[in-house]
Amino acid sequence: MINLRELTKYYGDLCAVDRINLNVNRGEILGLLGPNGAGKTTTLRMMTGFLAPSEGDIVVNGKSIHSDALAVKSCTGYLPESAPSYPAMLVHDFLDFVGQMRGLKKKRRTAAIEQLADVCALKEVMHLPIAHLSKGLRQRVGLAQAMLADPEILVLDEPTSGLDPNQIVEIRKIIRRLGSQKTIIISTHILSEAEATCDRIVIINKGRIIADGSAEQLKNQDLSTINELNLEISRAQWEDVRNLLESLEVVKKVKLVSTSNKSSLKIKVLCQPQGDPRAVVYNTIKTTNWVLLELYRPERSLESIFRHLTMEANP
């Protein structure tokens, strides 16, 4: 559906997007994650024709952004981070205006506005000025204008930015509902939002893609490179614990996290990436007089994956 080929953007000497190659499948909800300044918004602006690439190409449905920008724009609905609107206009009049700009005939505009009022839960505010709406309702109006011409692709830049938890849940539900009908690209730095909403996650940092896959795939990928155990042991001396555990082949390094008032040691054990080291560590401790109070391998969250990958990219 969408193919980015060596996509690059410079602002003067600053390379904001650095030779990105990415394919987005039809009917996919793709989350573009990254810290602030990673190049997410610049990438979306190029994909929607608002910025010209310095190098590379964007091909949508076989049409190049260089040779057929109007065709690319016509099949794309775009919601920027700060949803553009005319505050003095009524919601209905604003959507009708956008429909006219999109070239929709009156009958089709009317039907589309009625449908979107239902989909985006705007029925009760259609005849209110946009200036009177909450941030969450304005975001829904922005989403409705992006969908008005029934585009095949929706590009949403930080669609839940500044919303309260209830509003975020509502916007997520709308996006998930639309995902069965359209190709959706969401830019965000809210990791829980991406995990709850997206089929696939691409992490970008310093203008480069550093990870690509489902949330589960990213977690498994990280677990294959980082293998940690958390332990709590009592009736033991720190030096003895460190010497014994670091003598094991499966262990790379042992770190003291803290010492409790009960004289127990909280320890982090960094292990070799292959296999499950828990049995070896447990059986070794069992041969001593120490008391093992806790042993577990922490579950990886998308947040820990994100932090690890972006920190690796910024040593």
Q: Is residue 306 part of a domain?
A: no
> What is the number of structural domains in the chain?
2
Q: Is residue 314 part of a domain?
A: no
Per-residue pLDDT of the chain (315 residues; tens, 9 = 90+): 899 999 999 999 999 999 999 999 988 999 999 888 899 999 999 999 889 999 999 999 889 999 999 999 989 999 988 777 899 999 999 999 999 999 999 999 999 999 999 888 899 999 999 999 988 889 889 989 999 998 999 999 988 877 788 878 888 888 888 877 889 999 987 788 888 889 999 999 999 999 999 888 887 765 555 688 999 999 999 999 999 999 999 999 999 988 766 679 999 998 887 788 999 999 999 999 999 999 998 877 777 778 777 765 444
Residue 275 exposed, middle or buried by CB count within 10 Å (0-12, 13-18, 19+): exposed
**C-alpha pair distances (Å), 310 with each of 16, 207, 211, 303, 304:** 16, 12, 10, 11, 10
Q: Is residue 310 part of a domain?
A: no
Q: Are residues 239 and 194 in the same domain?
A: no
Q: Is residue 22 part of a domain?
A: yes
Which distant-in-sequence residues (6+ apart) come within 8 Å of 270 by Cβ? Answer: 227, 228, 251, 252, 253, 254, 255
Q: Is residue 304 part of a domain?
A: no
Q: Are residues 256 and 215 in the same domain?
A: no
Residue that has been written with the tokens 């259609």 in this structure: 126
Q: Are residues 134 and 257 in the same domain?
A: no
Name the domain boundary from 180, 202, 221.
Answer: 221
Q: Is residue 252 part of a domain?
A: yes
Q: Do 141 and 79 contact (CB within 8 A), yes or no?
A: no
Q: Is residue 99 part of a domain?
A: yes
Q: Are residues 255 and 278 in the same domain?
A: yes
| pTM across the whole model | 0.74
Q: Is residue 238 part of a domain?
A: yes
Give the structural domain span for 42: 2-221
Q: Are residues 55 and 174 in the same domain?
A: yes
Q: Are residues 241 and 187 in the same domain?
A: no
